[in-house]
Amino acid sequence: EAGVAQSPRYKIIEKRQSVAFWCNPISGHATLYWYQQILGQGPKLLIQFQNNGVVDDSQLPKDRFSAERLKGVDSTLKIQPAKLEDSAVYLCASSFGGTSGGDTQYFGPGTRLTVL
Amino acid sequence: AQSVTQLDSHVSVSEGTPVLLRCNYSSSYSPSLFWYVQHPNKGLQLLLKYTSAATLVKGINGFEAEFKKSETSFHLTKPSAHMSDAAEYFCVVSPLRGTGFQKLVFGTGTRLLVSP
């Protein structure tokens, strides 16, 4: 089966510019996640959707980051305006969406963002 | 709150020798525990997961991990390293929940280096 798709794979922008990332989850997966992975660190959850509703956005910097999943399938993550510290890999993941703690998340290849 | 501590940032082994990557967790709930692997420029891949069944968990590519509640540990092992095992490994914790949704908390990662 097809995996989680993300685009673009790489993006270079200047600070204060805006940028958007796209994610298409595995077909049939109700839950979608966006993570930020700063170099040398583990991924950190930014936002979690169940279908088109937000389950957890407690670590999303809402003054500059926004995300949507309007039809409950693909999703976009936007940063406006970008700061230097936003340089990171942005990972999208999806899962079937059970409430069990063992629900497996499948990750996309990520988008590497460099802010100059 | 739940967290994981990966005790080594780097581990170096020779091909054919055993691998041990150490992980300690902290969780207020009965946790699910995972190991993910990340190869350069590739997405995170699930190696194995523990969800309160057998304490010795077998994963892909010959890896296994043992859940030890008394030691709050979930170390990853492999009897014989292969060159292709060189990658970044993440220990991950998620509380088991009867309701609500899974939230993964990643460790900082251990880079495994395999020499010929």
Name beta bridge partners: A53. A50
Dump pLDDT digits (tens) for B34-87. 999 999 878 899 999 988 778 899 999 999 999 998 999 999 999 999 999 999
Contact A101 B95 (CB under 8 A): yes
What does the pLDDT average to over A7-33? 95
Give the other-Cβ count within 10 Å of A76's Cβ. Answer: 14
Q: What is the pLDDT of residue B97?
A: 52
Chain mean pLDDT for chain B: 90
Q: Does residue B15 have a pLDDT over 90?
A: yes
CA of residue B39 relative to chain centroid, distance: 14
Categorise residue B9: left if φ over 0, alpha if ψ from -120 to 50, beta otherwise: alpha
Question: Which DSSP state fits A17?
Answer: -
Sign of the Cα pseudo-torsion (A66, A37, B30, A4, in order): positive
Chain A residues whose beta carbon lies within 8 Å of the beta carbon of residue B43: 3-4, 91, 107-110
Q: Does residue B100 have a pLDDT over 60?
A: no
Phi, psi torsion values for A87, nearest 5 degrees: -60, 120
DSSP B61-99: GG-EEEEETTTTEEEEEESS--GGG-EEEEEEEEE--SS
Q: Does residue B99 have a pLDDT over 50?
A: no
CA atoms within 13 A on the CB side of A50: 9
- From A89's Cα to the closest Cα of chain B, the distance in A is 10
Task: Select from A60, A26, A49 the least CA-distant residue to B102.
Answer: A49
State the best of B60, B102, B103 to mutate against chain A, taking most chain A CBs within 10 Å: B102
Chain A residues whose beta carbon lies within 8 Å of the beta carbon of residue B103: 45, 48, 56
Residue in the block written with tokens 């979608």: A32
